């Protein structure tokens, strides 16, 4: 039990060495693969081009601290009548975690949109954790991008 078989190491050649960590590249699924993993209530879903714009605005808002993260914090902000754009992740399970958020947004007349992956939403908001809901408030640094995004989100059809 205490002895190790050294013959195994001798039989393996130099070619079978494990690659360095720098050589390993993790490949993220593309937009179409992520769409297959979204839940049923994820409507209106942002297009691929709009998703990139959303991540860009979220990243700029996170740098200037004009962002609210998480179901609890965003829910509190909505009750306090804060304005902005709500970005929801489409791959959250169980759905009950944030199914009430869309209703709160519609009651407060705040535009909301779904993106395919919560891990990407977390990275865009510059945290190491995945997040399922983000409230992006208007900032001076990115006002033109924000207003353009808000108009395109408002144009998306709401689910019936």
Q: Is 132 inside any structural domain? A: yes
Interval 38-94: pLDDT, tens:
999 999 999 999 999 999 999 999 999 999 999 999 999 999 999 999 999 999 999
User: The domain spanning residue 90 has which CATH number?
Assistant: 3.30.1330.30
Q: Is 160 inside any structural domain? A: no
Q: Is 75 inside any structural domain? A: yes
For residue 112, how many other CB atoms are within 10 A of its CB? 21
Q: Is 2 inside any structural domain? A: no
Q: Is 48 inside any structural domain? A: yes
58 CB burial (10 A radius; 0-12, 13-18, 19+): buried
Least Cα distance to 148 among 43, 76, 32, 60 occurs for 60
Mention every residue, 6+ apart, whose C-beta is less than 8 A from residue 117. Answer: 34, 37, 89, 90, 91
Tell me the residue range of the domain where 136 lies: 43-155
Count of structural domains, the chain: 1
Diameter of the chain measured on Cα atoms = 70
Instruction: Give the relative orientation of helices 143-155 and 48-63 as an angle to the nearest 10 degrees.
Output: 140
Mean pLDDT, residues 24-45: 87
d(CA 35, CA 22) in angstroms, rounded, equals 30
Q: Is 17 inside any structural domain? A: no
Q: Is 119 inside any structural domain? A: yes
Token pair recorded at residue 101: 């958020």
pTM equals 0.81
Q: Is 149 inside any structural domain? A: yes
């Amino acid at each position: 039990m205490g002895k190790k078989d050294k013959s195994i190491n001798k039989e393996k050649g130099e070619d079978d060495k494990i690659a360095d960590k720098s050589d390993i590249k993790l490949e993220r699924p593309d937009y179409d693969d992520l769409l297959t993993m979204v839940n049923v209530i994820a409507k209106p879903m942002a297009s691929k081009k709009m998703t990139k714009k959303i991540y860009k605005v979220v990243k700029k808002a996170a740098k200037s601290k004009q962002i609210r993260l998480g179901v609890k914090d965003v829910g509190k902000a909505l009750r306090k009548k804060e304005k902005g754009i709500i970005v929801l992740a489409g791959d959250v399970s169980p759905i009950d975690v944030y199914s009430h958020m869309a209703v709160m947004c519609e009651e407060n007349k705040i535009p909301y949109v779904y993106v395919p992956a919560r891990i990407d939403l977390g990275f865009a908001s510059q945290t190491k954790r995945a997040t399922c809901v983000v409230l992006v408030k208007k900032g001076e640094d990115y006002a033109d991008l924000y207003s353009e995004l808000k108009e395109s989100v408002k144009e998306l059809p709401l689910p019936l």
